[in-house]
């Protein structure tokens, strides 16, 4: 197990280098002049050129890339072009909002999707199965921005129960979390139903029933545990993706999250800020995938024996 973890962590190095090169290349090739964007269209060309020279943008691409990697290895990710302050300050201030929103969204999708998926599988072809399947297909097709706007229209403007934007209290996270949870719950519901249908037809489940085990024990202890592997994968990937994919939700509810910061930095061609944010998200994504793989071993001991 320890050797497996070390090998996986070592694989992070070339992956991170690949991510840095790709993002740095994209930011360099995209049209736009950071000096002109930041100083404005009315600035003198001489001032724009001097601003770009101060940022080191007059140097060759490979020189700038190698310099960035060398500084990043020492923990220096540069200063934001827009603010002139270390990039980690903006990330540190915004990242907690994104993590909270992603966690609540995935948690809500689990609470809704897994029980309904189990119910649909156990009651196959019944009214509950049809209702769950139709609801999952409908909710999976609902655009996130439309759902968020409808929630604001109903709960904020019409009923006045919840704040429509900003952060401050737990109430500010209710509607954004629902906006993320509903489409995720639809995916988990369909996946849980499919895997449970495959599992409850296996020999060991029929044997457990033949021995007189209670149906609740058969479903929750025997069938669900062996059906969890793809569900755990989906949940983990959904959480990792939500860390960088909540831009639409953050925009609808005016949340100062990391996704909004990345979009703003891309528009301003703030390369250090974009690089730092993407590197953080890439690192967290790979760590979450590693944790998912390790979780497999606790769910199925046979897989644990393969970690060498």
The predicted structure's pLDDT at residue 300? 64
Hey, how many other C-beta atoms are within 10 angstroms of the C-beta on 234?
Answer: 22
Residue 79 backbone dihedrals phi, psi, to 5 degrees: -110, 145
- Average confidence (pLDDT) over 188-205: 82
Question: Is 12 contained in some domain?
Answer: no
Which alpha helices (H) appear in the chain, and where do they start and end? Answer: 2-10, 12-29, 34-39, 45-54, 61-73, 87-122, 127-140, 144-151, 171-199, 203-210, 215-217, 224-244, 247-252, 258-267, 271-299, 301-304
Question: Is 45 contained in some domain?
Answer: no
Nearest to 255 by CA among 267, 242, 268: 242
List of residues 6+ apart from 187 with CB closer than 8 A: 109, 113, 136, 140, 234, 238
305 pLDDT higher than 60: no
Question: Is 231 contained in some domain?
Answer: yes
- Average confidence (pLDDT) over 61-79: 86
Higher pLDDT, 36 or 75: 75
Q: What is the pTM of this model?
A: 0.78
List of residues 6+ apart from 181 with CB closer than 8 A: 104, 105, 106, 107, 108, 109, 112
7 pLDDT higher than 60: yes
Structural domain of 212: 87-257+286-304
Residue 289 tokens read as 């995938």
- State how many domains the chain has: 1
- How far apart CA 207 and CA 241 sit, in angstroms, is 39
Nearest to 181 by CA among 235, 117, 128: 235
Question: Is 299 contained in some domain?
Answer: yes
Question: Is 275 contained in some domain?
Answer: no
Contact between 183 and 144 under an 8 Å Cβ cutoff? The reply is yes
Residue 235 tokens read as 């949940």
Q: What is the mean pLDDT of the chain?
A: 81
| Tens of pLDDT, residues 109-124 | 889 888 888 888 888 8
Question: Is 219 contained in some domain?
Answer: yes
Cα 198 to chain centroid, rounded: 28
| Tens of pLDDT, residues 255-267 | 888 888 888 888 8
Q: Would you call 201 exposed, middle or buried from its count of C-beta atoms within 10 A (0-12, 13-18, 19+)?
A: exposed
Tell me the CATH number at 153: 1.10.3720.10
Question: Is 50 contained in some domain?
Answer: no
List of residues 6+ apart from 124 with CB closer than 8 A: 197
Question: Is 204 contained in some domain?
Answer: yes
- How far apart CA 39 and CA 48 sit, in angstroms, is 7
Higher pLDDT, 247 or 28: 28
């Amino acid at each position: 197990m320890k050797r497996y973890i070390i090998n996986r962590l070592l694989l992070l190095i070339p992956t991170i280098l690949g991510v840095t090169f790709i993002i740095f290349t994209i930011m360099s090739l995209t049209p736009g002049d950071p000096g002109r964007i930041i100083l404005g269209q009315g600035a003198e060309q001489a001032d724009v050129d001097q601003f770009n020279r101060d940022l080191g943008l007059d140097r060759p691409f490979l020189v700038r890339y190698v310099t960035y990697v060398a500084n990043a290895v020492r923990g220096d990710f540069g200063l934001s072009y827009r603010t002139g302050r270390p990039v980690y300050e903006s990330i540190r201030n915004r990242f907690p909002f994104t993590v909270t929103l992603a966690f609540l969204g995935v948690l809500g999708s689990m609470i809704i999707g897994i029980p309904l998926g189990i119910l649909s599988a156990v009651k196959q072809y019944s009214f509950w199965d049809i209702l769950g399947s139709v609801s999952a297909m409908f909710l999976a097709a609902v655009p996130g921005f439309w759902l968020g706007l409808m929630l604001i229209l109903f709960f904020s403007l019409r009923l006045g129960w919840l704040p429509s934007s900003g952060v401050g209290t737990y109430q500010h996270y209710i509607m954004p979390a629902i906006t993320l949870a509903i489409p995720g719950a639809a995916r988990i519901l369909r996946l849980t139903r499919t895997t449970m249908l495959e599992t409850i037809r296996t020999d060991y489940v029929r044997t457990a029933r033949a021995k007189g085990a209670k149906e609740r024990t058969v479903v929750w202890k025997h069938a669900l545990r062996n059906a969890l592997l793809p569900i755990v994968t989906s949940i983990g990937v959904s959480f990792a993706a939500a860390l960088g994919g909540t831009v639409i939700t953050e925009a609808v509810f005016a949340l100062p999250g990391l996704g909004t910061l990345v979009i703003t930095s891309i528009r301003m061609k703030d390369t250090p800020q974009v690089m730092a944010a993407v590197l953080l998200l890439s690192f967290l994504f790979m760590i979450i995938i590693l944790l998912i793989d390790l979780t497999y071993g606790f769910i199925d001991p046979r897989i644990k024996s393969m970690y060498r």
